[in-house]
Amino acid sequence: MKIIAPVNNKGGVGKSTVTRLLLEYFSLVCGLKTLALDLDPQCNLSRRFLRMEIDPVDTQGVLPPLHPDFDPNDSASEAWDGRSSIADIFYGDPVYPYATHIPTLEIAPGHSAKLLTAEAVRKSEVSEKVHQQLKLFLDLPDVKQAYDIIVIDTPPSKGPLTISVVKAATHILIPSIMEPQPIEGVFGMLQLWKQEQLQRSAHNPLQLIGILPNMFRQVRLHQDLLKELENNNTISEYVLPHSLGQRTIFSEMDAEGASHSSVFSLPDTNKAKLEALAVCQLLAEKVL
């Protein structure tokens, strides 16, 4: 089982879009049994596959809908409120993934308030426990048997949630806009990757798939900063040869009644589809 996480501690670099593309590619195009995990308290990935609900306690956050398997009349369900999220692993509760419109794709959605609480942990003894929970969950035999690929959306930070993802993943990908602050995030994530490598055994390395230029535009700033990365002797080998452009089609597909639910269902001549296929095929070759 492969566990892939797009990571960058700067926000707005398109991690959720890249995560979605990978999920749809592995499930729709490759036909692999795929699980999405949403550890970003914003829960943008969850909203793309489920009708998330406004949290009545925290109107700035969202929580998952009632699970389709929940039966309030079942006495065995008395201890469960009918909602399940990946955040439950930090509270000692089981996780029940939800089906999506793609038959081979399931999702363990986020829960804003619970994830924010886990992210806010700073006491070392508690923080270390948070760091291990995701790996313990993904090491469960039932999880390993159920899925071929797991792709994790991460928060824009190097806090406990991101560290838990890095410790659990088999592969990380660093997407970045070619602008100064996001590129600072690239170097921050490279440092975190190297730190994790030092703690792992040789037979269980954390593979860096590469640095993906994302939301790329043919403007001088983006071109110059990409060239700087490609000419940097310490990281040039990690810069991927393909990029994803800034495409409105990705956000349009989230709209109610959109004619296409996935870029991979667009006509074969569509530029966004061709670009997404080229990137995802390259990433799949490196992972599979």
Q: Are 58 and 110 in contact (CB under 8 A)?
A: no
Mean pLDDT for 38-51 is 96
pLDDT of residue 122: 73
Q: Report which of residues 259 and 142 the model is more confident about.
A: 142
Lowest mean per-residue pLDDT among 180-184, 220-224, 254-258: 254-258
> What DSSP string describes 217-285?
-SSHHHHHHHHHHHT-TTTGGGB-S---B--THHHHTTSTT-S-SSGGGS-TT-HHHHHHHHHHHHHHH
pLDDT tens digits, 81-137: 899 999 999 999 999 999 999 999 999 999 999 999 999 887 776 677 789 999 999
CA distances from 53 to 17, 47, 87, 231, 281 (A): 21, 9, 16, 46, 34
> Domains plus CATH for the chain?
2-287 (3.40.50.300)
pLDDT of residue 60: 86
pTM: 0.95
pLDDT of residue 77: 62
Average pLDDT, the chain: 93
Taking the C-alpha atoms of residue 105 and residue 90, their distance in angstroms, rounded to an integer, is 23
Q: Is the pLDDT of residue 240 over 80?
A: yes
- pLDDT category at 259 given cuts 50, 70, 90 is low
pLDDT of residue 75: 66
Taking the C-alpha atoms of residue 8 and residue 147, their distance in angstroms, rounded to an integer, is 25
pLDDT of residue 126: 66
